[in-house]
Every structure is written in structure tokens, then in C-alpha cells.
Amino acid sequence: MSINTVSTTSFPGQRPGTSGLRKKVSVFQQAHYLENFVQSVFDTLGDCAGKTLVLGGDGRFHNRAAVQTILRMAAAHGFAKVLVGQGGILSTPAVSCVIRKHGALGGIVLSASHNPGGPDGDFGIKYNIANGGPAPESVTEAIYQRTEAITQYRISDAADIDLQKAGATRIEAMDVEVIDSVADYAELMQKLFDFDAIRKLIAGGFRLCFDGMHAVSGPYAKAILEGQLGAPAGSVINAVPLEDFGGHHPDPNPVNAAQLIAIMAADDAPDFGAASDGDGDRNMILGRKFDVTPSDSLAVLAAHATLAPGYRAGLKGIARSMPTSQAADRVAQALGIPAFETPTGWKFFGNLLDAGKATLCGEESYGTGSDHIREKDGLWAVLFWLNLLAATGKSVEALVSEHWARFGRNYYSRHDYEGVDTHAANELMASLRIKLATMAGQDLGHYVVDFADDFSYTDPVDGSVAQQQGVRIVMTNGSRIVFRLSGTGTEGATLRVYLERYEADPEFHHLPTQQALYPLILIAEQVAGIADWTGRAHPTVTT
């Protein structure tokens, strides 16, 4: 074994987006491409002598090859130890959990989350820091600057290690430990939730269906839901991670999780349905013939949090991303705790969690989590819901309907226009920004504009400022339209239009969502000229 220094030249565009560097697999397969990025991460970290790194990914195509390369580079950089998930597998929440439990310096997550996998799909890489969360912008920007200047990287010529076999081995002077991908994570879940109560619920005939979508959460769900909680074999469907996710799009929304939606819509549907995404950090919650929006899910969990052992002491605060509905704010107000509104991107919750200002966090993009780790956590949300269902004896629909009756309903939908021409999307946003100054007080038919702005966020902990985080048009009754461009796509631009209407009167709590939002949908088109700019009369995805 020896360590070699390899000359390289920089690749343009290695700037991490909302959640790491995501590109087509073919881009990552170029000689030196992954190596340049990894060396830039290591250079940014500096001396790693005596330090531990956690490494794993969602099992998508190129995962194993990338794991072997990164192990060889970590050894060359002088890490003392790498904890790598068996088979190269670790869900994003599991990486966060393992970093924290083992006091690691940080971790590398190999995932493009919900983006399609396979040789023609996407690949991604993300660095997480010692608190278990995604690196803040100061770090990702430093990594990017380094990728622009890189001239060489260092790598051991050691042979591939056997990722299937749990246990310890060595590359150069570095210890490599192949760990059980599920164990640390499952242990943490047992501390947070009442497994006995959930076991009893299931033993009493309560039926559930969890869709692993052939992505990373299958093995976790099988071990916990079927193995530890006694759900009958087959309760977890599409449980085996596949390199191309079985050709499906591992994003748990009503469009992509069609199989689960059909199961939950049948007359003999299970009591509870859920799905997670490629890397296991998202969640979708369903009742029998009933969908729960992610924004409502956050609000319901917050309202009943003390029913779960890990949250008995109550919540310190609730944080949501700006485009997420304001349902959770009403719960925070009722509980007398602070509500925080952050830009899109889980990394913005990190400081609030570290500072003990917030306990629960959530995003409209099917992300929910808490201070137990520093990533959003799909299976955690599922277990939280099961804990509430067991503790209350109520159905999913009853819990949500009662929540609306108490707090009012925030009708909510997101309309995505995917694969739009990047220039046109930027022009649409620019023309909206020009209109903002004159919008306040405008009468738009059903609604009068209270204020309109481009959301900017000052982090209450470190004072850092994030600007241009989404154009919002807020009506005098709290209803809103938000426009922003996705930071996670890999092809063209994706315009997201977020629509929210607040309805206090229970008599109007059971309208079809798109119908309830129709006047706002018309206003969004009228104000932004979506069809003109994008050439699209309809969104590609509606959640």
C-alpha cells in the first residue's frame, strides 16, 4: 500500500446546492471529478489526525465505487478512523445519528435524495459537520472555492475493502469499521417513542403499510416496524434497496408513491400508510383514504408531542421553512413557545436546534424532524405518528380533523413546473421582484395584499443573513402565494408555487384542496405570468 499524489485540474460548477453537490452519474464518473470534490472537503477540514469520519449512502448506482474511493482518500488524508455502513448503506438520518453518537468530526452522505438513480440518473455527495447536520453555507462555500483552485489530490492505492462484512479492517494507518447500518439508529428511536404501546396497537389488529420505494429506508423499516414492533411480514413493501430504485422516482408524494396511494384508497386499506425517499429523510403520512400534508403533519405532531416519551418535557420552539404552511405557528402560539420561519433547506434549522431554541422542525417538502439528530428523519416521523395513534386510540383522519376544528385549517398545495428553461425561470422571478414594491394594498379580487417581499432571513444565533429566499405575496387574512426556484434540481430550473389559504370555519374544512385554493391559483398566474414565461399551462407535479 502506498499513498500517491495525483495532479488534477478544477471542474467548473462544483458548488453545493440546497443539499450537497448533485449531478448526473455520468458527470461523477469522469476521472478526478469525485476526487476533486472530496479533496476539497478534506482541505477545508484541515488536519484530521485522530479524527473519525462517518461514510455511507442511499445505495444508488455508483454508491459502492464512490465509497471505496473516499475510503482510500480518507486514509491518505490521515483520518484515524472511518465508520462505514454495511454494503455502503446509511440513510441520511442514520449518518447524523452515528456522527453524534460516536463523536465523529463529520460524515459524508452519498445521495441525491429523491432524484432518480441508475446509470442515467443522479448522484450526490454532501458533507455533514460534528453536530450531525449539513455543513453551513460558510463551509460549503469554502469547499466550492477550494474546488476552483485544486491542483492535486492524495489517494492510497489500497485494494477495495469488503463492504458486506461487518467488522474492522485497515487502509494504510486508518481503521475502517464496517458497522450495522440500522443498530445505532434503532437504539435512538427506542429512546424517543413508546415501543410497547405501538407493539400493543399492532398486536390488536392495527394494520400499516410502509413503502420503502426500493430505496434506503427499507432495511430500517423492516428491522424496526416488522422486527421490533411486530408488524406482519409484508407490511413494508418495496423494501430492498436497488441501484435504480426499481426504475421509480423515490420521492414520497402522491404522484410518485402511486402504489401506496392505491393501497390506502382501497376499501380494505390499512389504518396507516407511509413512505420515505431515496435517502430516508423524507416522509409522507397517510390514513385510510386520507392524505396528511407535511405542513399539517408538523402541526399535529407538535400539538401532541408530549404523548411521546422523548418529548414529555414539552417543546422549546417550532421551526418551519418559509414556504411551509403556517399551521405550526398556531400550535406554537397556543403552547406559548416561539415559532421560527427559516429559508428552505434543512441546514437552516441547525443553529436553532443547537442553541436549544427549537425542538421540532418541518418543511412542506415532506421533511419533519427534531433535535434528536440534525437531519430530517422519515422513519422518526412514522414512529411519532404511530406513537400518537397508539396513545390516543384515534384514526389518522380523526386526529387531523380534530386539529383543524381546534386551530383552523391551512389549505395548502405546491405546484411545480419542472425542467423549465433556466433563463425564462430567472426572468419570471426578476419580473416578480420588480412588482413587489407596489403590491401592498392591491385588491386582487378575493384577496387584498397585506405585504409582498423577497424573503430574507437573519439567523437569530449567528446573525448570518440569507437573501432572495423566495418571493411571497401575503394577503390581509394570512393567505399566501410564494414563488421560488428549486435549489435541488439537476435539469433546467424548477419553479415552485406554494399556495396557502387559512380557513377558520369548520363548516369549510372538507373542500377538495385545489378547489379551496382556486382563487389563489388564478392570482398566481395573473401576477407571475407563469404560462407566458414557461410555456406551461399546468404544473408537472402538484402536491
Show Cβ contacts of residue 177 under 8 Å, excluding neighbours closer than 6 positions: 81, 82, 83, 84, 167, 168, 169
CB atoms within 10 A of CB 105: 17
| Beta carbons of 346 and 129 less than 8 angstroms apart | no
Instruction: List the interface residues with ligand G6P, window 465-494 (CB under 6 A).
Output: 486-488
Q: Which is nearer to Zn ion, 78 or 246 (CB)?
A: 246
CB atoms within 10 A of CB 476: 12
Among 54-62, 225-233, 360-368, 470-478, the segment contacting ligand G6P (CB under 6 A)? 360-368
With CB under 5 to 8 Å by kind, the binding choice for 194 among ligand G6P, Zn ion, none is none
Provide the total of helices (H) and of strands (E) in the chain, helices listed first.
18, 26
Q: Does 279 bind Zn ion (CB under 5 A)?
A: yes
Q: Does 19 bind ligand G6P (CB under 6 A)?
A: yes
Q: Does 283 bind Zn ion (CB under 5 A)?
A: no
Among 147-155, 230-238, 254-262, 363-371, the segment contacting ligand G6P (CB under 6 A)? 363-371
The site map against ligand G6P for 287-326 (x = CB under 6 A) is ----------------------------------x-----
With CB under 5 to 8 Å by kind, the binding choice for 345 among ligand G6P, Zn ion, none is ligand G6P
- Locate the DSSP E strands across 12-80: 21-24, 52-57
Q: What letter represents residue 460's amino acid?
A: P
Which of 59, 85, 219, 367 forms a contact with ligand G6P (CB under 6 A)? 367
Q: How far is CA 3 from the centre of its chain?
A: 37
Q: Which is nearer to ligand G6P, 88 or 294 (CB)?
A: 294
With CB under 5 to 8 Å by kind, the binding choice for 413 among ligand G6P, Zn ion, none is none
With CB under 5 to 8 Å by kind, the binding choice for 488 among ligand G6P, Zn ion, none is ligand G6P
With CB under 5 to 8 Å by kind, the binding choice for 118 among Zn ion, ligand G6P, none is none
Alpha-carbon distance 387 to 211, whole Å?
Answer: 19
Closest residue to Zn ion, judged by C-beta, is 113
| Residue at grid coordinates 369548520 | 506
Alpha-carbon distance 328 to 295, whole Å?
Answer: 7
| Beta carbons of 84 and 160 less than 8 angstroms apart | no
* CA dist 271 → 258, 372, 509 (Å): 17, 27, 22
Q: Does 128 bind ligand G6P (CB under 6 A)?
A: no
Q: Does 329 bind Zn ion (CB under 5 A)?
A: no
Q: Which is nearer to Zn ion, 281 or 377 (CB)?
A: 281
With CB under 5 to 8 Å by kind, the binding choice for 469 among Zn ion, ligand G6P, none is none
Catalytic status, residue 113: yes
Q: Does 350 bind ligand G6P (CB under 6 A)?
A: no
Residue 480 pairs with which residues in a beta bridge?
474, 500
**Secondary structure string (H, E, C) spanning 355-366:** CCCCCEEEECCC
Q: Does 500 bind ligand G6P (CB under 6 A)?
A: no
With CB under 5 to 8 Å by kind, the binding choice for 363 among ligand G6P, Zn ion, none is ligand G6P
Name the strand (E) or helix (H) holding 215.
Answer: none
Q: Does 403 bind ligand G6P (CB under 6 A)?
A: no
Q: Which is nearer to ligand G6P, 319 or 449 (CB)?
A: 319
| Beta carbons of 477 and 463 less than 8 angstroms apart | no
| Residue at grid coordinates 440518473 | 121
* CA dist 377 → 96, 360, 373, 494 (Å): 10, 11, 8, 24
Least separation in angstroms between residue 302's CB and ligand G6P is: 18
Which member of 96, 113, 235, 413 is catalytic?
Answer: 113
* CA dist 387 → 133, 201, 308 (Å): 25, 9, 6
Q: What are the percentages of helix, strand and coil residues in the chain, rounded to 5? A: 35, 25, 40
| Residue at grid coordinates 379551496 | 516
| Beta carbons of 83 and 52 less than 8 angstroms apart | yes
Which of 128, 295, 344, 359 forms a contact with ligand G6P (CB under 6 A)? 344
Q: Which is nearer to ligand G6P, 19 or 283 (CB)?
A: 19
Q: Does 86 bind ligand G6P (CB under 6 A)?
A: no
| Contacting positions for ligand G6P (CB under 6 A) | 18-19, 113, 321, 344-346, 363, 365, 367, 486-488, 496
Catalytic residues, by residue number, are: 113
| Contacting positions for Zn ion (CB under 5 A) | 113, 277, 279, 281-282
